[in-house]
Amino acid sequence: MGHTLEKMTAYCPISGCTPDIPHGLASYLRKEFEGSAGPLVTQALEELILEDKGMNDVTIVGDLETFSHRMTDPTTSHQVTRNEVLHTPESNIRVVRHCKAGERWSLGIVDDPVDSGDDTGFIAVFGVLIMVQTFSLPILHLATNGRVTPQRLWRLAMHQGWSEVNLSESDRGVYGLVGVDYGALEHERKQYPSPLPWMIPAEAAALEELGDCEAIKEVMMHRGGLWMWMSPDRFPLEAAPEEMAPSHVSSVLSPPNANPATIEKLPFELLCAIVLEGPLSSLLSLASASRSLYALILGSESDKNAIASAWIIKNAPWYVPVDCSDEENTQSDLKRTSDTWTYLRRCQASASMRNRERIWRIAEQIEALAERCEV
Q: Quickly state the pLDDT bin for 71 (edges 50, 70, 90).
A: low
Integer Cα distance of 131 and 324 in angstroms: 19
Residues 207 and 243 reside in one and the same domain: no
Residues 30 and 113 reside in one and the same domain: yes
Helix (H, G, I), strand (E, B) or coil at 132: strand
Residue 194 falls inside a structural domain: yes
Residues 339 and 367 reside in one and the same domain: no
- Residue 110 contacts residue 121 (beta carbons within 8 Å): yes
- Residue 359 contacts residue 136 (beta carbons within 8 Å): yes
Residues 177 and 313 reside in one and the same domain: no
pLDDT over threshold 90, residue 337: no
What average pLDDT does this structure show over 6-17? 83
Provide CB contacts within 8 A for 221, sequence distance 6+.
48, 227, 230, 351
Least confident interval from 167-181, 191-205, 304-318: 167-181
Residues 171 and 203 reside in one and the same domain: yes
Residues 30 and 173 reside in one and the same domain: yes
Tens digits of residue pLDDT in 18-49: 888 877 777 777 766 666 778 999 899 888 88
Residues 109 and 253 reside in one and the same domain: no
pLDDT over threshold 70, residue 253: no
Residues 174 and 196 reside in one and the same domain: yes
Integer Cα distance of 73 and 3 in angstroms: 11
Displacement of CA 353 from its chain's centroid (Å): 8
Residue 103 falls inside a structural domain: yes
pLDDT over threshold 60, residue 67: yes
- Residue 368 contacts residue 257 (beta carbons within 8 Å): no
Residue 114 falls inside a structural domain: yes
Tens digits of residue pLDDT in 185-236: 888 888 888 889 999 888 988 999 999 999 999 999 999 999 999 999 999 9
pTM of the model: 0.85
Integer Cα distance of 32 and 29 in angstroms: 6
> CA of 349: how far to CAs of 120, 235, 304, in Å?
42, 11, 18
Residue 358 falls inside a structural domain: no
What average pLDDT does this structure show over 333-339? 86
Residues 172 and 283 reside in one and the same domain: no
CA angle 142, 298, 347 (to 5 degrees): 35
Residue 10 falls inside a structural domain: no
Residues 283 and 334 reside in one and the same domain: yes
Residue whose C-alpha is closest to residue 369's, from 14, 12, 11, 9: 14
**Domains in the chain, number:** 2
Query: Who wins on pLDDT, 116 or 67?
Result: 67
pLDDT value at residue 80: 78
Query: Who wins on pLDDT, 170 or 150?
Result: 150
Per the structure, the complete domain to which residue 293 belongs is given by: 238-349
Integer Cα distance of 334 and 340 in angstroms: 8
Residue 207 falls inside a structural domain: yes
Residues 242 and 154 reside in one and the same domain: no
Residues 208 and 264 reside in one and the same domain: no
pLDDT over threshold 90, residue 273: no
Residue 64 falls inside a structural domain: yes
Integer Cα distance of 9 and 171 in angstroms: 9
Residue 282 falls inside a structural domain: yes
